[in-house]
Amino acid sequence: MPGLKGNALVAQSGGPTAVINSSACGVIQEALAQRNIGTVFAGLNGILGVLHEELFDAGAEGAEAIDALRRCPASALGSCRYKLKSLDESRAHYDRILEVFKAHDIRYFFYIGGNDSMDTADKLGKLAGETDYDLIVMGVPKTIDNDLDFTDHCPGYGSVAKYVATAAMEAGKDTEALYTSDTCTVLETMGRNAGWIAAAAGVAHRCEEDAPHLVYLPEGPFDADRFVADVKECLSRIGRCFIVASEGLADAGGNYIADQGSSAFGKDSFGHTQLGGVAEALKGIVQEQVGVKCRYIKPGTSQRTAEHFASKTDADEAYMAGRKAVQHAAEGTSGYMVTLVRESNSPYKCTTGLARLGKVANAAKQVPREWINEAGNHITPELCAYIIPLMQGEVAVDMAADGLPDYVRLKRKLVEKKTPEYEV
Amino acid sequence: MPGLKGNALVAQSGGPTAVINSSACGVIQEALAQRNIGTVFAGLNGILGVLHEELFDAGAEGAEAIDALRRCPASALGSCRYKLKSLDESRAHYDRILEVFKAHDIRYFFYIGGNDSMDTADKLGKLAGETDYDLIVMGVPKTIDNDLDFTDHCPGYGSVAKYVATAAMEAGKDTEALYTSDTCTVLETMGRNAGWIAAAAGVAHRCEEDAPHLVYLPEGPFDADRFVADVKECLSRIGRCFIVASEGLADAGGNYIADQGSSAFGKDSFGHTQLGGVAEALKGIVQEQVGVKCRYIKPGTSQRTAEHFASKTDADEAYMAGRKAVQHAAEGTSGYMVTLVRESNSPYKCTTGLARLGKVANAAKQVPREWINEAGNHITPELCAYIIPLMQGEVAVDMAADGLPDYVRLKRKLVEKKTPEYEV
């Protein structure tokens, strides 16, 4: 549908990253520059905002505020974990979205998110086609987990990689300084099914002395006995041990090491099990079975929002992906997610490509076995070579007079509603 | 003892900070520049290195490596938690230290640490005096806890303050983005008996919307019922709640909220109870009694070693304190700790002073009640005004080709031993 005239809507979905606002900035700036696109709306809190018809005019925020999104963590448009089910099960919701789109003449939908969001965008695009509503749908990848397929890597990953590697390096120096009393430390990273984040910490291990000494990914089964042996071997070699563990570690039977039991809050709204506590579990094992003091670090959401040391490469690529999605849309392309294509590694060069939304939605990419060492307790140089280009440079954040970052907050003034109330 | 000729020894003690190496750098550079000081030794792993006669020549590291200490976290000389008891109880250890000092003609002892270290330095200085061994002893303050008395603030505090405030700001944006599902977050800071670190996070709360919305310090008793009421009030007002809690929170009966029970590892080598788990405890309370999902963040030793965003003001003052200790020592001053004196707040101007080691050792400074709000759940503008100047500027860390910081590691080649083995 080249030349399609109308308004655009951009929304963010799922867990924030340090650069998802860079993608939003790219989408908004490029959409504002397109002749065929009128108003650029944003959905407040992701798809929930669309369902509730809670939209605001991104252009009304002003060019300065929009530009500041390139240096601002988390999801400035608001996000949510609300997942639409299949067309059959959630047909009313999809119809509602189209109702809101029609009411505001929204002809371009840009969805920044992970697998679930690409699935929603895909279904929405198909439904629009079936109902003869001209709508261009494009996805912009976003996930710290780096587990989207068809793209070399995901915007958001380079920054979390840089953060956890730096944290391992710095806290590792602490363990090194105090090893006579505080001998072991466990750093717990996010990563439910894929170990990309924990793996990134492994890059800080430049030599035998450097933390982390052991890195455990969820790609293989976690064996507590082998873990104890690994720690003891490390202690006998260098007198201390710094361990990085992914929250998603599970034993051979598939039981999460950090099992939270049957808590009512054990699952998030997408039905994913909410994990936590791997670090405590490993700390307990170390203290009881190795017999040395063990500390732990759980950076939690800090790891995905650490704009103050975010990767400039990551932020720039996130921005590029956002712009490209709009450029493709303006040319009439629909139903695709923009991908990142590594043209070369040395020197590193990255361009973009396209992948069908429906394909992306159903694939998840784990760390290849050959990029994990034979013992299953660290990463290989090949994995380092993959990660290092993604962590280059630092985003120059604006600083306020109080010595802390000055992150923009959008006004988000909602536009007048044109449709009846809708219950979600 | 002005004009005392001989060698010097510098040692670091206790928990590392982002700037304790800046102090070491100041001591070493100034000592190398003093006519009356010959070799500048460092004790490997603090006082343990002295007891074991594990010393290395700091000058032999080279000027470049020593200068790089100003941009390197944790304790590059090595640290320990070994505490000497009273002269009566540990007389043999004190005699041993003097034996090592005599063997290497060490006439200047610079100890960088907190209360316990100042106590050790004080006793050592007194014993030297009693035994007619000319020894100049000077203390350089160091503690992220900011609880040393007689000094306006402590080197190490400004950097941890900047880190936790930034983490609260960034993770707060995450909670703000995802409040429809991930409604509450607890950030746990260090701070056993004093709430200075948790208080610093409060600075990020620039307006009602900004995290943290609630800040709990160990200065007052923690009341779980009032906490639940605070969280509910916050949720009803802005729909989300970001909480900062000090690890040292205790109820009116003095029981730690994060009690670790009777674990063999529940105390550190100084006999202090080792805390952890306040965040988990509060998360449990929120989920059970408020009924919303709660995440938690435990930055652990990351908060005290985050050189990548350390306060330049803090690093510069730590360096100044190190240099000043040597300058005073060269003039014959002994038995004092260098203090930081806030000459004015606007513009901020800080100079140094001196406090008797014996006095410093036995005092601990908590956050004054009038700097905590009436409800006991946040800080006052006066406390912000105290903290803000300490967080100004960022240390420019050296970056390596892999996109991560390039922190120096000293060679620490031990000098030949001149005394018999000694069992600690």
Residue B364 has pLDDT above 90, yes or no: no
Q: What is the count of structural domains for chain A?
A: 2
Backbone angles phi, psi at A71, to 5 degrees: -130, 40
**Does B306 contact A170 at a Cβ distance shorter than 8 Å?**
yes
Does B48 lie at the interface with A, CB-CB under 8 angstroms?
yes
> Which residue of chain A comes nearest to B72, CA vs CA?
A170
**Higher-scoring residue by pLDDT: B261, B361:** B361
What amino acid is encoded at A199 in this protein?
Answer: A
Could you tell me the two tokens for A302? 């800090």
Is the predicted pLDDT of residue B95 greater than 50, yes or no? yes
A395 found inside a domain: no
Please list every residue in chain A whose beta carbon sits closer than 8 Å to the beta carbon of residue B11: none
Helices vs. strands in chain A: H and E counts, helices first: 13, 11
* pLDDT on residue A2: 87
C-alpha dihedral, B174 to B179 to B181 to B182, nearest 10°: 50
Q: Which residues 145-174 of B have a C-beta within 8 angstroms of A?
A: 162, 165-167, 169-171, 173-174
CB of B268 within 8 Å of a chain A CB? The answer is yes
Checking if the pLDDT of B222 tops 70, the result is yes
Q: Which tokens in the block code for residue B332?
A: 């014959």
Instruction: Tell me which residue in A300, A305, A311 faces B296 most closely, judged by beta carbons.
Output: A300
pLDDT band for position A157 (cuts 50, 70, 90): very high
Residue B151 lies in a domain: no
A297 close to B (CB below 8 A): yes
* Share of residues in chain A with pLDDT > 90 (%): 92
Q: What is the pLDDT of residue B263?
A: 37
Over range A66-84, report the average pLDDT: 96
Residues A299 and A314 in one domain: no
Considering CB atoms only, which of A80, A280, A394 is closest to B181? A80
The tally of CA atoms less than 13 A away on the side-chain side of residue B358 is 7
Encoded tokens for A215? 């890195």
Q: Does residue B405 lie in a domain region? A: no
Confidence (pLDDT) at B391:
98
Q: Is residue B337 part of a domain?
A: yes
Q: Is the pLDDT of residue A262 over 80?
A: no
Residue A269 has pLDDT above 90, yes or no: no
Query: B302: distance to nearest CA of chain A, Å?
Result: 5
Q: Please indicate, yes or no, whether residues B100 and B190 belong to a single structural domain of this protein.
A: no
Q: What is the pLDDT of residues B177-186, one digit of tens each?
A: 999 999 999 9
Taking only Cα atoms into account, the Rg of chain B, rounded to an integer number of angstroms, comes to 22
A17 touches chain B (CB under 8 A): no
Q: Which of A204, A268, A404 sits opposite B391 (nearest CB)?
A: A404
- Is there a single domain that holds both residue A141 and residue A168? no
The alpha-carbon gap from B268 to the nearest alpha carbon of chain A, in Å, equals 8
B327 and B288 share a domain? no
Mean pLDDT lowest among A331-345, A353-367, A396-410, B57-71: A353-367
Pairing of strands A336-345, A136-141: parallel
Mean pLDDT of chain B: 94
Which residues are bridge partners to B189 per DSSP?
B246
Exposure of B422 by Cβ count < 10 A (0-12 exposed, 13-18 middle, 19+ buried)? middle
CATH code for the domain of A32 = 3.40.50.450
Question: How much is the pLDDT for A382?
Answer: 98
**Interval A81-113: pLDDT, tens:** 998 999 999 999 999 999 999 999 999 999 999
Answer yes or no: do B297 and B183 share one domain: yes
Asked if A90 and A16 sit in the same domain, the reply is yes
Instruction: Provide mean pLDDT across the span B79-89.
Output: 92
Mean pLDDT of A259-280: 53
User: Is the model's pLDDT at A55 over the cut of 60?
Assistant: yes
Same domain, B166 and B293: yes
pLDDT at A341: 98
Q: Any CB–CB contact under 8 A between B107 and chain A? A: no
Tens of pLDDT, residue by residue over B130-153, are: 999 999 999 999 999 999 999 999
pLDDT per position as a tens digit, A110-135: 999 999 999 999 999 999 999 999 99
Examine the pLDDT at B278 and tell me if it is beyond 80.
yes
pLDDT of residue B260: 42
Digit-coded pLDDT (tens) for B165-174: 999 999 999 9
Chain A neighbors of B405, CB-CB under 8 A? 166, 169-170
pLDDT bin (cut points 50, 70, 90) of residue A277 is: confident
Q: Residue B222 is part of a domain; what is its CATH number? A: 3.40.50.460
Here the tokens at position A105 are: 């003449």
A217 domain residue, yes or no: yes
Is A391 within 8 Å of B407 when comparing Cβ atoms? no
Check: CB of residue A139 under 8 Å from CB of residue B273. no
Give the residue on B whose Cα is nearest the Cα of A302: B171
In Å, how far are A108, A286, A365 from A324, measured between CA atoms?
A: 14, 49, 23
Q: Would the CB atoms of A16 and B181 count as touching at under 8 Å?
A: no
Query: How far is B288 from chain A, CA to nearest CA, in Å?
Result: 9
Give the residue, B161 or B276, on which the prediction is more confident. B161
Cα separation, B258 vs B248, in Å, equals 8
What is the band of B241 on the pLDDT scale with cuts at 50, 70, 90?
Answer: very high
Mean pLDDT of B63-88: 96
- CB distance B276–A268 less than 8 Å? no
What tokens were used for B355? 């406090």
B267 part of contact set with chain A, CB < 8 Å: no
How large a percentage of chain B has pLDDT more than 70?
96
Chain A residues with beta carbon closer than 8 angstroms to that of B299:
297, 299, 302
With an 8 Å Cβ cutoff, are A165 and B72 in contact?
no
Same domain, B275 and B170: yes
- State pLDDT tens for residues B297-337: 999 999 999 999 999 999 999 999 999 999 999 999 999 99
Report pTM. Answer: 0.96
pLDDT at position B266, please? 46
Half-sphere CA count of A238, side-chain side, radius 13 A: 20
- DSSP codes, A215-268: EE-TTS---HHHHHHHHHHHHHHHS-EEEEEETT-B-TT--BTT--TT-TTSB-
Residues of B within 8 A of A282 (CB-CB) are: none
CB-CB contact of A74 with B170 (8 Å): yes
Q: Are residues A270 and A233 in the same domain?
A: yes
A346 Cβ under 8 Å from any chain B Cβ: no
Q: Choose, from A145, A147, A230, A316, the residue flagged as catalytic.
A: A145
* B-proximal residues of A, 375-404, CB under 8 Å: 384, 388-394, 399, 401-404
Would you say residue B417 lies in a domain?
Answer: no
Is residue A59 within 8 A of residue A40, CB to CB? The reply is yes
For the record, the structure tokens of A314 come out as 């990551």
The answer to whether residue B244 scores a pLDDT higher than 60 is yes
Domain contains A402 = no
Predicted pLDDT at B258:
83
Interface test mutation site (partner A, options B302, B304, B391, B412, max chain A beta carbons within 10 A): B302
Return d(Cα A146, Cα A212) in angstroms, integer.
21
Checking if the pLDDT of A274 tops 50, the result is no
Residue B130: inside a domain, yes or no?
yes
Mean pLDDT of chain A: 94
* Total Cβ atoms within 10 A of residue B218: 24
Q: What is the pLDDT of residues A365-380, one digit of tens each?
A: 999 999 999 999 999 9
Ramachandran angles phi, psi of B355, nearest 5°: -135, 140
Domain that holds residue A85: 6-155+308-362
* Catalytic residue list contains A145: yes
Distance between CA atoms of A328 and A330, rounded to whole angstroms?
Answer: 5
Omega within 30 of 0 (cis) for the link into A73: no
Do A66 and A122 belong together in one domain? yes
Catalytic choice (B145, B147, B230, B316): B145
Residues A66 and A82 in one domain: yes
**Pair B235, B179 in one domain:** yes
